[in-house]
Amino acid sequence: MRLNQNVLLMGKKVVLVPYTSQHVPRYHEWMKSEELQRLTASEPLTLEQEFAMQRSWREDADKCTFIVLDAEKWQAQPGTAEESCMAGDVNLFLTDLGDPSLGEIEVMIAEPDCRGKGFGTEAVLMMMSYGVTKLGLTKIEAKIGQGNEPSIRMFQKLHFEQVAVSSVFQEVTLRLTMSEPERQWLLEQTSHVEEKPYRDG
């Protein structure tokens, strides 16, 4: 999505930056993991395919992707290569042509030593806030593998409610509808987030 290609979102634990070509090699290494392939229902791609995917995500109007950086590492070494601070990614898919106010959110904390630190929670809150305030979303869904209990619990803590179970795909669909109280809660949870211009490289 071109809308976020020059946007950096700075939180307490994580920094969100657009997915650029400099991030592809590390991302490609992550996706060789059978565990991550299973959790994200992904097929392994060649490095060339991964570069092509990154370009298409940047151009597609229905996908908003940020790379999740470890904020502490990123701030400790100004000018350091972002690749060395990468923790995962967070995505919004606007794939329901009949309902542009609905987005599907995905988060992946790929670095094992970045898990269990609240990175995923803050990244999801920041992305939800971006989706609500910049993309006009009023409903956000998450589709999670039935066996991925930590992820299901995280979304439930963020006020998502289970709306469907697919035994075929072995996944649970959770949804958050943005009532005014939910919107205010979300904006309070992300009031510390700063939006800054992003410069690739």
Cα–Cα distance, 134 to 65 (Å, whole number) = 14
CB 130 within 8 A of CB 64: yes
pLDDT at 137: 97
pLDDT at 44: 81
Q: Count CA atoms closer than 13 A to 201's CA, side-chain side.
A: 1
pLDDT at 201: 52
pLDDT at 79: 67
Cα–Cα distance, 159 to 140 (Å, whole number) = 11
Mean pLDDT of the chain: 92
Per-position pLDDT tens, the chain of length 201: 889 999 999 999 999 999 999 999 998 998 888 887 776 767 888 889 888 989 888 888 899 999 999 999 999 876 668 999 999 999 999 988 899 999 999 999 999 999 999 999 999 999 999 999 999 999 999 999 988 899 999 999 999 999 999 999 899 999 999 999 999 999 999 999 999 999 865
Cα–Cα distance, 130 to 65 (Å, whole number) = 11
All structural domains of the chain, each given as residue ranges with its CATH number in brackets, are: 2-193 (3.40.630.30)
CB 54 within 8 A of CB 78: no
Cα–Cα distance, 58 to 1 (Å, whole number) = 5
**What percentage of the chain has pLDDT greater than the value 90?**
71
pLDDT at 97: 86
